[in-house]
């Protein structure tokens, strides 16, 4: 009973501090106040519903870097930065002095020992094996065929249905289901039909959404609090426990089925399938080359599935959602993309190929603008292995975490100019009409340095293919008055979806 009384007193104290902050905070004060005991956490909680935009505003007035002081003894001190010089220093020139760290692995524990959470030698092996697989011509062909098939057999029938019914639908949900179905096939070989007119419930996709939201809340709580919540099964952590149960059940099913398939082929002396998925690749891994990875360990294989599912589904679905919303606000960009399609792509119904897609310079620039303004993964983080001084002059040691505000970086006027908040695909086009290159520490969406995204080119091919199919054949209209609001999540989702209507275009051949 005494413990309950102390807890009530502590909660009352927090509430009083919270309301004092609301009443007495100066309107012009952007950076959160550093309170005794509680640090800057109360100020962040007030704006947590719009955390990405708030961080961008704070960085704009603090020379792109500020120190966040967490509650005493909470281990939450962070240096928040969008300074390209700091990014280059940590991710490239001084790469060996920073890693993800043990705390990162605990916060992202739902991913297991995958490439996103690994450090040192294990990360090197995972990176090397992923590069071999993704660069293999067979996998690239399999990927492109899978994607174009899902568009033809899943996306188009669904859009045609909504067009004929003249009904409002969630475009974000459509993109998430398309990306999920494609990614699940590429990762496990399993054909999911979550994108259909019926729009069935998908346990794995729902678990991914829940886990990604919980991750952000973990960043805003002392670790001891969210671990206690997880142990008891309270609050947001209840979602994570349920999500992990779904991951474990479904991943175990995929692994079991794949082992049976491989064994069946061996027993019947069948030729190996040309369309080899990622799970098959890792099950057949040569352990003489990759000594730290165990293809017989189910936990290792589960980490592979979860990591590649995260990478494949969310970046594409998030980018396409924000991209089509931006196009709805900038119809002149739609006109230019259609002109580019007419000038560079065949009208005979011939299938698109990577060479054709590479001619779509304006479309590429428009996608880059969407990525710049609405980065799918709004933040990255690293931990220093030893004391260091960043180019911005800030000292960091092993007790600090460095949070790289990717979303905010795309809006920094010091980096992108006074028009940083504007959607301008032309900023990506050079004077001779080609694509303009921006260094990865400035355009940080695909990471930078040794950890740069291996699937960058594949992602652009997939996004261009979807964009062309829709822009060429349909008119998308966002419902007037539809509220656009971000979900506080490790992935930049729209809280209320993207409600829209679709109409088929009459093409003149």
Distances (CA, A) of 285 to 139, 188, 281: 15, 15, 6
Kind and range of the H or E run holding 404: strand 401-405
Is 171 in contact with 482 (CB distance < 8 Å)?
no
Q: What is the pLDDT of residue 268?
A: 80
pLDDT at 274: 63
pLDDT at 509 over 70: no
Q: Is the pLDDT of residue 287 over 50?
A: yes
| pLDDT confidence of residue 219 | 86
pLDDT above 90 coverage of the chain, percent: 69
Q: Which residues make up each annotated binding site?
A: 453
Give the integer Cα–Cα distance in Å for 373 and 377: 11
Q: Is the pLDDT of residue 65 over 60?
A: yes
Q: Which residues are annotated as a binding site for heme?
A: 453
At 144, the pLDDT band (50, 70, 90 cuts) reads confident
With 50 as the cut, is the pLDDT of residue 1 above it? no
Say whether pLDDT at 6 is over 50.
no
Return mean pLDDT, the chain: 89
pLDDT above 60 for 3: no
A 10 A CB-CB count for 224 gives 11
Q: At 289, is the pLDDT very low, low, confident or very high (cuts 50, 70, 90)?
A: confident
Full strand arrangement of the beta sheet holding 474-478: 169-170, 499-504, 474-478
d(CA 193, CA 181): 6
- For the stretch 166-175, pLDDT in tens is 999 999 999 9
CATH code, 25-504: 1.10.630.10
Q: Are 341 and 334 in contact (CB under 8 A)?
A: no
Give the CA count within 13 Å in the CB-facing half-sphere of 43: 21
Q: Residue 484: is its pLDDT beyond 60?
A: yes
Using one digit for the tens of pLDDT, what is the confidence trace for 340-356? 999 988 765 556 777 88
Residue 115 is predicted with a pLDDT of: 86
pLDDT at 272 over 80: no
- By the 8 A CB rule, do 76 and 224 touch? no
Instruction: Tell me: pLDDT of 308 over 60.
Output: yes
| pLDDT at 38 > cutoff 70 | yes
Q: What is the DSSP string of 203-264?
A: HHHHHHHHHHHHHHHHHTS-HHHHHHHHHHT-THHHHHHHHHHHHHHHHHHHHHHHHHHHHH
Q: What pLDDT digit, counting tens, does each position of 386-443 carry?
A: 999 999 999 999 989 999 999 999 999 999 999 999 999 999 999 999 999 999 999 9
Task: Report the share of the chain in percent with pLDDT over 70.
Answer: 92
pLDDT tens sequence across 442-462: 999 999 999 999 889 889 999
Q: Helix 223-232 vs helix 236-267: angle between axes, to the nearest 10 degrees?
A: 70
- Please report the pLDDT score of residue 350 as a whole number: 59
Give residue 28's pLDDT.
42
Separation of alpha carbons 202 and 100, rounded Å: 31
Higher pLDDT, 10 or 283: 283
Neighbours of 148 (CB within 10 A): 17
Please tell me which residue, 260 or 352, carries the higher pLDDT value: 260
Residue with tokens 């007030």: 46
């Amino acid at each position: 009973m005494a413990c309950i009384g102390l807890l009530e007193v502590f909660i009352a104290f927090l509430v009083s501090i919270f309301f004092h902050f609301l009443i007495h905070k100066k309107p012009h004060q952007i950076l959160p106040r550093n309170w005794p005991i509680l640090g800057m956490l109360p100020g962040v909680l007030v704006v947590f519903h719009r955390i990405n935009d708030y961080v961008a505003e704070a960085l704009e007035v603090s020379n792109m870097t500020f120190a966040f002081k967490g509650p005493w003894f909470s281990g939450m001190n962070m240096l928040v930065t969008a300074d390209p010089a700091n990014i280059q220093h940590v991710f490239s020139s001084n790469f060996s002095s920073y890693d993800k760290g043990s705390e990162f692995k605990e916060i992202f524990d739902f991913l297991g020992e995958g490439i996103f959470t690994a450090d040192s030698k294990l990360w090197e092996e995972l990176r090397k094996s992923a590069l071999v697989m993704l660069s293999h011509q067979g996998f690239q062909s399999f990927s492109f065929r899978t994607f174009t098939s899902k568009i033809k057999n899943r996306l188009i029938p669904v859009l045609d249905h909504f067009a004929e019914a003249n009904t409002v639908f969630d475009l974000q949900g459509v993109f998430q289901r398309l990306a999920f179905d494609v990614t699940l096939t590429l990762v496990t070989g399993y054909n999911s039909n979550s994108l259909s007119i019926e729009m069935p419930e998908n346990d794995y996709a729902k678990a991914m959404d829940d886990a990604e939201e919980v991750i952000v809340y973990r960043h805003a709580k002392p670790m001891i609090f969210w671990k206690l919540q997880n142990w008891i099964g309270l609050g947001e952590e209840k979602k994570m426990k349920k999500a992990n149960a779904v991951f474990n059940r479904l991943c175990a099913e995929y692994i079991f089925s794949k082992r049976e398939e491989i064994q069946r082929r061996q027993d019947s002396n069948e030729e190996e399938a040309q369309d080899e998925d990622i799970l098959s690749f890792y099950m057949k891994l040569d352990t003489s080359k990759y000594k730290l990875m165990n293809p017989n360990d189910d936990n290792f294989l589960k980490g592979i599935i979860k990591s590649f599912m995260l990478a494949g589904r969310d970046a594409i679905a998030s980018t396409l959602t924000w991209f089509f919303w931006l196009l709805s606000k900038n119809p002149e960009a739609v006109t230019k993309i259609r002109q580019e399609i007419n000038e560079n792509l065949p009208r005979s119904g011939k299938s698109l190929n990577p060479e054709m897609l590479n001619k779509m310079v304006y479309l590429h620039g428009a996608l880059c603008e969407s990525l710049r303004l609405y980065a799918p993964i709004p933040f990255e983080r690293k931990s220093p292995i030893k004391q260091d001084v960043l180019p911005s002059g800030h000292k960091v040691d092993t007790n600090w975490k460095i949070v790289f505000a990717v979303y905010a970086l795309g809006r920094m006027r010091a980096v992108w100019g006074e028009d940083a908040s504007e959607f301008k695909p032309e900023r990506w086009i050079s004077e001779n009409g080609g694509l303009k290159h921006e260094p990865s520490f400035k355009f940080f969406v695909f990471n930078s340095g040794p950890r740069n995204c291996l699937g960058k080119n594949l992602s652009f091919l997939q996004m261009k293919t979807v964009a062309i199919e829709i822009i060429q054949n349909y008119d998308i209209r966002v419902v007037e008055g539809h509220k656009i609001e971000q979900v506080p999540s490790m992935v930049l989702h729209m809280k209320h979806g993207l409600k829209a209507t679709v109409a088929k275009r009459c093409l003149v051949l």
